[in-house]
Homo-oligomer: A and B are copies of this chain.
Amino acid sequence: MRFLVLLCVLSATSLFAKQSSTSQPAQSRLPWNLMPVPAKVEAGSGLWVVQQGLTISLSGGDDPRVRSAAQRFVDHLSRLTGIPLRYLTAQPDKATIAINCDRAGDKVQKLGEDESYKLDVSATGAKLSAPTALGVIHGLQTLLQLVAPGPQGFAAPAVHIEDAPRFPWRGLLLDACRHWMPIEVVKRTLDGMEAVKMNVLHFHLSENQGFRVESKKFPKLHEMGSGGHYYSRDQIRELIAYARDRGIRVMPEFDMPGHTTAWFVGYPELASAPGPYEIETKWGVFDPAMDPTKDSTYKFLDKFIKEMTELFPDEFFHLGGDEVNGKQWDANSEVQSFMKSHNIKTNEELQTYFTQRVVKIILKYNKTPVGWDEVLTPKVPKEVVVHSWRGPESEAKAVQQGNRALLSNGYYLDLAESAEQHYLNDPLGGDAAKLSPEQQKMILGGEACMWSEMVSAENVDSRIWPRAAAIAERLWSPAEVRDVDSMYARMEVVSQRLETLGLTHHSALHAMKERLAPNHFEALRTFGRTVEPVKKYSRSGTHKYTTDAPLNRLPDAVPPESIEARKFSRLVDRIVAGNASDDDLALARDTMIDWKLNYDRLSPAFQNSLLAEDATVSQNLSTAATIGLQALDMLGSRASVPTGWADQQTAQLEPMKTGQSELLLVVVAPIQRLVQAVGK
């Protein structure tokens, strides 16, 4: 772990050196683990040391969220420091932390509502001011992140920060349908979002595999379409209040006309084929779709949308609109004759007809519709916000057509990709970069997406966190904040802190690995750090998985991205470039010795049928490490490399990079680079 600290301090220093107008004072030794990076940071001199008896003053507009944010701040600071702190009030001029909030915020949090804040930390405490409660919420999270242990105890460096988000829409989609997400999971997710200043929970609430909200108007939706797993109306209200308290809007999505099998279990008359229907248990795109030709469909949807727009106060209402395969429409003669009589030539046009009618209903109830990029056809109403998931192009296209847009393509957390990939994906990149500044303003931001085919309530935290923090930074911080190493160093600290605050992305995977190898946990942990689950849809696409299949094997119990493997890869980069320190070389050697010995250590655990399938990958790790150690030795004494050795070894390593048992042995690629360096 030694080289991490270095990275962390160096990158933070260089990062802030650019933005800071003063030279780096003594406190720059403290890690500055701000994530997302604020718009403007100036280092001051001195430290504010966290001590018992700290007081808080609140002034300005009266917003209950300010008081509850302050209470939460005190609680979190207490957990982060271990110092028992209580909420004690004081006059503004005497308070340790003086908070001023100009005015009470809007009753329902609005898109684009002012989220800015100014934060001044000095040796005596902090002053935080913001136009609304939103800025106070964000500023207190920044102050929490500044606190770190040091020579004087837990302290925050003196600093002046002026901060505001780059994009007004910084969302996270949570799919509570494919796998049920109990209310505690949603709350934990909202806690994490607050910590990294995300402000929209896109709540995916209906699917082929489940309808997840209690409906008073149409009770068979949740009674027959959920298998008993749904949120009551009171729970929805509770979650909305919980989110509001944390500066987060809640936008519901009721996906239609496809992805609707669960609706049809109770209401088969909505479908384009007679039924009966059962809740879907498999993954993929399915045939059932609403019948867009019947007036009764729109009568149903009018009542339903009225009920749901009353339950969800947010201005935006997501109607879905993705992945309609049209097979039920093709096969239905009434639909076909409707299309003829209305001069509708394709299923796409039929869906546009449907979208137009649903949009009208949504607008009637004073909401703004949002739809996946399939809704972007020439006739789509201008009010619709287009949500790009299939590719980034639709964003620019939507704007050029006069619609506002959101980016989720490139932010799919379920694909097990790296934080780096998500981080470098910019809503104003690609085609959008060529738009005029006025047009660019129509790109509202983006959303990380946590689709839940391959995650359960047990490990969902580990799929969202910490990678969502990288997306949060992309959406909040200035576009030029793009240093990947700095991001990783800060993300690791954020990750650890989220766990301390109650998220379970580390502890749940720990427990899952203990469950797999109760008596060989350390060896399994070592192995687990060298692998990642296979990427994209290669797991869910196998049709081996269903809604009820256990997610209790190693690919479920390791993070989507191995931070340790990434560090090893960077270490190899330094060795190959000739920049390695003695410590680097020792660390590389120790690490590979550990891997070499690991198969023997772990092999008794392969008796467990759930782990047995991983034995080959574990053997590959030991073999690869043995080759890596030889390469390291040869690099140390270049004299004696047999001809063709590097090519032979590279070839031997090559097949180990292929996914096996749904795992990728990600440390093979850097070992290959070591081997290739020997060949040069």
> Which residues 73-119 in A have Cβ within 8 Å of B in the complex?
79-84
A64 CB–B CB distance under 8 Å: no
Query: In whole angstroms, how far apart are the Cα atoms of A556 and B604 in the complex?
Result: 35
Chain B residues with Cβ under 8 A from A604's Cβ?
5
Chain B residues with Cβ under 8 A from A8's Cβ?
519
User: Which stretch in A10-18, A248-256, A445-453, A492-500 binds the other chain?
Assistant: A492-500
Query: In whole angstroms, how far apart are the Cα atoms of A456 and B520 in the complex?
Result: 31
Q: If the complex has contacts A4-B519, A52-B548, A519-B1, are A500 and B496 also in contact, measured as CB distance less than 8 A?
A: no
Query: In whole angstroms, how far apart are the Cα atoms of A458 and B519 in the complex?
Result: 27
A437 CB–B CB distance under 8 Å: no
Chain B residues with Cβ under 8 A from A519's Cβ?
1, 4-5, 8, 31
A274 CB–B CB distance under 8 Å: no
Chain B residues with Cβ under 8 A from A521's Cβ?
1
Chain B residues with Cβ under 8 A from A284's Cβ?
none
Q: Select one of B79, B149, B607 contacting A610, CB under 8 A.
A: B149
Report whether B518 and A149 are in contact in the complex, using a CB–CB cutoff of 8 Å: yes
Query: In whole angstroms, how far apart are the Cα atoms of A517 and B551 in the complex?
Result: 33
Query: In whole angstroms, how far apart are the Cα atoms of A514 and B604 in the complex?
Result: 31
Chain B residues with Cβ under 8 A from A518's Cβ?
31, 148-149, 493, 496
Chain A, residues 606-644, CB within 8 Å of chain B (1/0): the string is 011111100000000000000000000000000000000
Report whether B608 and A82 are in contact in the complex, using a CB–CB cutoff of 8 Å: no
Report whether A80 and B515 are in contact in the complex, using a CB–CB cutoff of 8 Å: yes
Query: In whole angstroms, how far apart are the Cα atoms of A1 and B526 in the complex?
Result: 13
User: Which stretch in A150-158, A320-328, A479-487 binds the other chain?
Assistant: A150-158
Chain A, residues 500-514, CB within 8 Å of chain B (1/0): the string is 100000010011101
Chain B residues with Cβ under 8 A from A556's Cβ?
82
Report whether B507 and A608 are in contact in the complex, using a CB–CB cutoff of 8 Å: no
A552 CB–B CB distance under 8 Å: yes
Q: If the complex has contacts A1-B521, A1-B522, are A515 and B81 also in contact, measured as CB distance less than 8 A?
A: yes
Chain B residues with Cβ under 8 A from A1's Cβ?
519-523
The smallest beta-carbon distance between A118 and chain B, in angstroms, is 27
Chain B residues with Cβ under 8 A from A522's Cβ?
1
Instruction: State the interface size on chain A (CB cutoff 8 A).
Output: 53
Q: Select one of B82, B152, B523 contacting A458, CB under 8 A.
A: B82
Q: Select one of B514, B550, B607, B608 contacting A83, CB under 8 A.
A: B550
A543 CB–B CB distance under 8 Å: no
A237 CB–B CB distance under 8 Å: no
Query: In whole angstroms, how far apart are the Cα atoms of A80 and B511 in the complex?
Result: 9
Report whether A84 and B548 are in contact in the complex, using a CB–CB cutoff of 8 Å: yes
Q: Which of A150, A500, A518 has the most CB of B within 10 A?
A: A518
Query: In whole angstroms, how far apart are the Cα atoms of A152 and B607 in the complex?
Result: 9
Chain B residues with Cβ under 8 A from A523's Cβ?
1
In the complex, residue of chain B having the shortest beta-carbon distance to the beta carbon of A489: B519
A516 CB–B CB distance under 8 Å: yes
Chain A, residues 161-192, CB within 8 Å of chain B (1/0): the string is 00000000000000000000000000000000
Report whether B514 and A496 are in contact in the complex, using a CB–CB cutoff of 8 Å: yes
Report whether B552 and A150 are in contact in the complex, using a CB–CB cutoff of 8 Å: no
A536 CB–B CB distance under 8 Å: no
A544 CB–B CB distance under 8 Å: no
Report whether A82 and B151 are in contact in the complex, using a CB–CB cutoff of 8 Å: no
Report whether A516 and B609 are in contact in the complex, using a CB–CB cutoff of 8 Å: no
> Which residues 591-612 in A have Cβ within 8 Å of B in the complex?
601, 604, 607-612
Query: In whole angstroms, how far apart are the Cα atoms of A507 and B510 in the complex?
Result: 10
A2 CB–B CB distance under 8 Å: yes
Q: If the complex has contacts A499-B511, A514-B496, are A150 and B607 also in contact, measured as CB distance less than 8 A?
A: yes
> Which residues 5-64 in A have Cβ within 8 Å of B in the complex?
5, 8, 31, 52
Query: In whole angstroms, how far apart are the Cα atoms of A512 and B515 in the complex?
Result: 23
Chain B residues with Cβ under 8 A from A607's Cβ?
150-151
Report whether A82 and B493 are in contact in the complex, using a CB–CB cutoff of 8 Å: no
Chain B residues with Cβ under 8 A from A493's Cβ?
518
Chain B residues with Cβ under 8 A from A610's Cβ?
149, 153
Query: In whole angstroms, how far apart are the Cα atoms of A305 and B125 in the complex?
Result: 48
In the complex, residue of chain B having the shortest beta-carbon distance to the beta carbon of A52: B548
In the complex, residue of chain B having the shortest beta-carbon distance to the beta carbon of A459: B82
Report whether B458 and A551 are in contact in the complex, using a CB–CB cutoff of 8 Å: no
Report whether B151 and A609 are in contact in the complex, using a CB–CB cutoff of 8 Å: yes
Q: If the complex has contacts A5-B604, A500-B511, are A149 and B80 also in contact, measured as CB distance less than 8 A?
A: no
Report whether A608 and B149 are in contact in the complex, using a CB–CB cutoff of 8 Å: yes
Report whether B552 and A83 are in contact in the complex, using a CB–CB cutoff of 8 Å: yes
Query: In whole angstroms, how far apart are the Cα atoms of A549 and B79 in the complex?
Result: 14
The smallest beta-carbon distance between A626 and chain B, in angstroms, is 19
In the complex, residue of chain B having the shortest beta-carbon distance to the beta carbon of A519: B5
Chain B residues with Cβ under 8 A from A496's Cβ?
514, 518
Chain B residues with Cβ under 8 A from A609's Cβ?
149-153
| Nearest 8 CB-CB pairings of A with B | A82-B552, A149-B608, A5-B519, A83-B550, A153-B609, A507-B507, A500-B511, A82-B550
What are 25 contact pairs spanning A and B, CB under 8 A? Answer: A1-B519, A1-B520, A1-B521, A5-B519, A5-B520, A5-B604, A8-B519, A31-B519, A52-B550, A80-B515, A82-B515, A83-B550, A83-B552, A84-B548, A84-B549, A149-B517, A150-B607, A151-B608, A151-B609, A151-B612, A152-B609, A496-B514, A499-B511, A500-B515, A507-B507
Given contact pairs A1-B520, A500-B511, a sample of 7 additional A-B residue pairs in the complex whose CB atoms are under 8 Å apart: A4-B519, A79-B458, A81-B550, A82-B515, A149-B516, A151-B608, A151-B609
